[in-house]
Structure 1
Amino acid sequence: YWATGAGGAGPDYGYGIITDGLDNVYVTGRFGVTATFGSFTLTSAGGQHAFVAKVGPAIYVDDDYTLATPGWQVDHFDVVQDAIDASANGDTIIVYPGTYAENINFNGKAILLTGSDPGNWDTVASIIIDGGALGPVVTFNTGETSASVIKGLTIQNGSATSGGGIYCNGSSPTIMGNIVRDNVASPGEGGGISCRNSSATVFGNVVGGNQSAGNGGGVYCDNASPNIDSNIIFSNTTSSNGGGICGGSISGAILNNIVSGNSANNDMGGIFCAGGTPT
């Protein structure tokens, strides 16, 4: 069960609620002054006005969906990027098990992109976004904030100059509960995750088997204030410094992580900080 406020100014009154076969929820009522639903605001021309609000529970992605699927290309997709493109700020996109061969970009949207069962690691391992060595698997480079969330997915087989798995630049998303594996950064940094000019939250992920020719085989941060907390970072390699984590000019926090079995050709197989004072 859930409840949500419509937002806006003045009193709003709900009179009826109904669902349809696509699990959309419709609420009827009246409002005065303004009523805000998501990113859309209704404005009264004076007095009370009626409204009918459609509250979609989520946008769904499954590689088994076809043209015959109800809601096809509306709120049911077989491509993750198509779902992102169709979403609005505040939306939730739920991805079901399968392998999605693509490279995705949040494009500045404040959305939750989540696996269908983010608390179950077996399910997380079965929901794969495979970058096909064609660039970062996931990109945040349009000023995303902590309201842009990626959760409960496997991010693999990316290859990029920096941030083979997840690339953040000038953005501060929330990256939590994912498996980030077998990605490559060359000639740059951050085989698994790269965060530049960022205050990203990197929480509760498994980051393993990534490689970089530059610094930070697993995670690299520069000119950043990240929160890197409660991750398992293992078996990552770098030709330079910081096999597990490398920071250059960083503040923020590096706490409660398991950093094990990483290697670096130069300094610090585990954690290397070239500048800054992270916790």
Structure 2
Amino acid sequence: TPIQDAIDAAAAGSLIIVQPGHYRENPILHQRLKLQGYGPGGFVGAPPVPEQEINPADPPTTQTGEEPFAHILGSVIDGRFHQFVEANRLAWDATLAGAASPYGGPADVPSGAAITVVAAPGELDAVASFRAQIDGFGITGSRGEGSGGIYVHAYGRNLIISNNIIENNSGRYGGGLGLGQPTDFGGLANNENDNIRIHHNRILGNGGTFRAGGVGIFNGADNYDFAYNDVCGNYSAEYGGGISHYGLSPNGRIRDNLIYYNDAFDEGGGVMIAGERPVDAGGVGSGPVDLTHNLIQANLSNDDGGGVRLLRPLMPLITIADNFIVNNVATDFGGGIALDDASNVVIVNNTIADNMTTATAEDTDGNAHGAGLVSEGHSAAFQATLPPGAPTFSNPTLFNNIFWNNRAFTWDGAALVFDSVIDMEVFGTVLPQFFTPRFSVLSVPYGAPHASNLIGDVAVNPDFPTFVNPTVVDVTATASRLNANFIDVQVQRPEGTLVGFSDYHLQFDSPAIDRGAASFNLIGAPTDDYDHQTRPRGSGFDIGADEADMPLFFSTEGNVSIPGVPGLPSIYGAYDDADIYAFDGANFRRVVDFSSLPGLPMASILLADVDALEVVDDDTFYVSFLFPLPIVTGVSGVVMPEDVLL
């Protein structure tokens, strides 16, 4: 039975369970239903075998679904047949004109998406009782006239899109998934797609021509929540290779995602947050957006903003917090983050490391430019809307960030040439301007020195932040044989993926630990880290996206040997029961040796035996001793076993 028949026949509030199979149709979800698949299916333990024909039969179901190379039959919607099977197109048109009508939004609904969602105003508004949902499908092969994969036209309020694999789809804007349309493609100033949740999907290898590659979020998707998704290998011929928030959609959240190996031929390889128009053309910006708890890695922009690009969000607050923004590449400015006409940005507790710029973009000036964070001078029209004395560039509040080894290259006509580490740069202002980072780790000195910053000197000590397993992105650049000024830059994918093989968490001895601030300029630091572990965990906030795990602290009984701690069991200087040790999951170390306390007589050394221990943080402990201990520094008299010392 076609999925469309079940949708048309169901009453609002129904659950439609789609049996495993290969569905060669493009259903329209036009009422408040839950469309439930059995999962996307696929091979366990191996990639799919090459297709021998355009419509191969599904392999037979195996008896034990978890054996290596076993094929798991799933609910797969294959949308490619809309393009060349006339009966499919006619059936889709008939549904839109019949069962799906009336619907809100523009009368012209772009066709070709694997699943299209339309609704009349108010039709999907019920929240507490039953939300419309698309869950558990493989969605592939579609070629949308608007967005591919899943396209939500208008009034898709409260829709949930979850647990799908959306792979190898294409569209004019948003190859994998699109909420509404940009106004210059027929969309409304408000597409009324509020409160949509998109979570736990894999959005892989999709392509868009304009505005967005993998995911396009357009005007009027207020309060959207894009979370726990895997966004990989998507491509845009314009903006936002992975995700593009384009237009006014206030209070959006992009959080807890893996965003990697996405490409944009223009700006924003990983994430694009943009207002739809410049201010002098009536632009209203992007609305407030939170970009938090994401891994944004190995994305490529053929212009500005390899990892993250903010373009004309204007005055709404953009918060960038608790992200790992690493190994991204921009061929012009801002391998990590690039800002333009963004006057209200907070960048706090991020790790922005090992990004690069290549100076190979079409409009490059050929000079090395900032590879970590770059801001351009405000446009004259936007500057005119700001109060007198306002900064003349996008000047974010910056604190508790790690900027490390962000490398700037140039092109010598044959190859990329390393120029320098440029963590931050302000470009295009009349007078030289500088960011003001605070409580941050920097590779090299920048701007006016400030005591709160840690300068690591990457050339002398490249491991200064002590990341667990950092990586350097591998890039190739090749000049076109037809036009030597056109330089093709590619991020080389290693065997497997950088994700999982690299790790920018902090080790226990990182200088970034406890060196951050709880707040700055009346803005509070986040109360959790990238992994949602509580901040602070020690005596202060850690710098960067990770709040380091506190080691396991302990003392011994019986003077036992501790691996990695030098010396033989003794009472002074080696390992014994007078010591406090720490274990970080890999190595042991001695933290305190009470037998070497100043003022402790040699006759009392044998008494410095730790009996009880309470850890406050990584350098503060409450202790008691097994025996009376005289003359401890700062204490008069004898410390009895019932006493507790800090």
Match of 1:105 among 210, 216, 232: 216
Residue 271 (structure 1) aligned with residue 424 (structure 2): yes
Residue 163 (structure 1) aligned with residue 316 (structure 2): no
| Residue 63 of structure 1, CA deviation | 4.8
| Residue matched to 2:349 | 230
Contact 1:197 1:223 in 2 (8 A): yes
Residue 95 (structure 1) aligned with residue 95 (structure 2): no
Deviation by residue 1:24-72 (Cα, 9 ceiling, x = unmatched): 9xxxxxxxxxxxxxxx78xxxxxxxxxx955345855555489xxxxxx
| Residue matched to 2:254 | 150
Deviation by residue 1:139-195 (Cα, 9 ceiling, x = unmatched): 1221233x0211111222222311111122222422111111221122x21111111
Identity of aligned residues (%): 18
Q: Which has the larger radius of gyration?
A: 2
| Residue 269 of structure 1, CA deviation | 2.1
| Residue matched to 2:595 | none
The structure 1 segments of at least 4 consecutive aligned residues displaced by more than 6 Å after TM superposition are 19-22
Q: In the aligned structure 2, how far is the partner of 1:205 from the partner of 1:59? A: 29
Match of 1:192 among 304, 307, 332: 307
Deviation by residue 1:95-129 (Cα, 9 ceiling, x = unmatched): 2253433321110211333334xxxxxxx6xx234
Residue 178 (structure 1) aligned with residue 287 (structure 2): no
Match of 1:243 among 359, 371, 376: 371
Cα distance change, pair 65–149 in 1 and its aligned pair in 2 (3 A): same
Task: Indicate the SS of the match to 1:197.
Answer: strand
TM-score, length basis structure 1: 0.65
TM-score, length basis structure 2: 0.30
Task: Indicate the SS of the match to 2:231.
Answer: strand
Q: What are the equivalent positions in structure 2 for 1:1-279 lying under 5 Å apart? A: 53-55=126-128, 56=130, 59=133, 62-64=136-138, 75-76=160-161, 78=164, 79=166, 82=177, 84-85=179-180, 89-96=193-200, 98-102=202-206, 103=213, 104-108=215-219, 109-116=221-228, 127-132=230-235, 134-135=237-238, 136=240, 137-145=242-250, 147-156=251-260, 157-170=262-275, 171-172=286-287, 173-186=289-302, 188-198=303-313, 199-225=317-343, 226-239=345-358, 240-248=368-376, 249-265=393-409, 268-274=421-427, 275=429, 278-279=435-436
Q: In the aligned structure 2, how far is the partner of 1:245 from the partner of 1:143? A: 24
| Residue 89 of structure 1, CA deviation | 4.7
Q: In the aligned structure 1, how far is the partner of 2:374 from the partner of 2:248? A: 23
Contact 2:180 2:193 in 1 (8 A): no
Cα distance change, pair 167–189 in 1 and its aligned pair in 2 (3 A): same
Task: Indicate the SS of the match to 1:106.
Answer: strand
Highest RCO, 1 vs 2 (Cα 8 Å, sep ≥ 6):
1
Contact 1:196 1:222 in 2 (8 A): yes
| Residue 211 of structure 1, CA deviation | 0.8
Unaligned 5+ runs, structure 2? 1-12, 17-31, 33-120, 141-151, 153-158, 167-173, 182-190, 207-212, 276-285, 359-367, 377-392, 410-418, 437-646
Q: In the aligned structure 1, how far is the partner of 2:402 from the partner of 2:225? A: 25
| Residue 230 of structure 1, CA deviation | 1.2
| Residue 237 of structure 1, CA deviation | 0.4
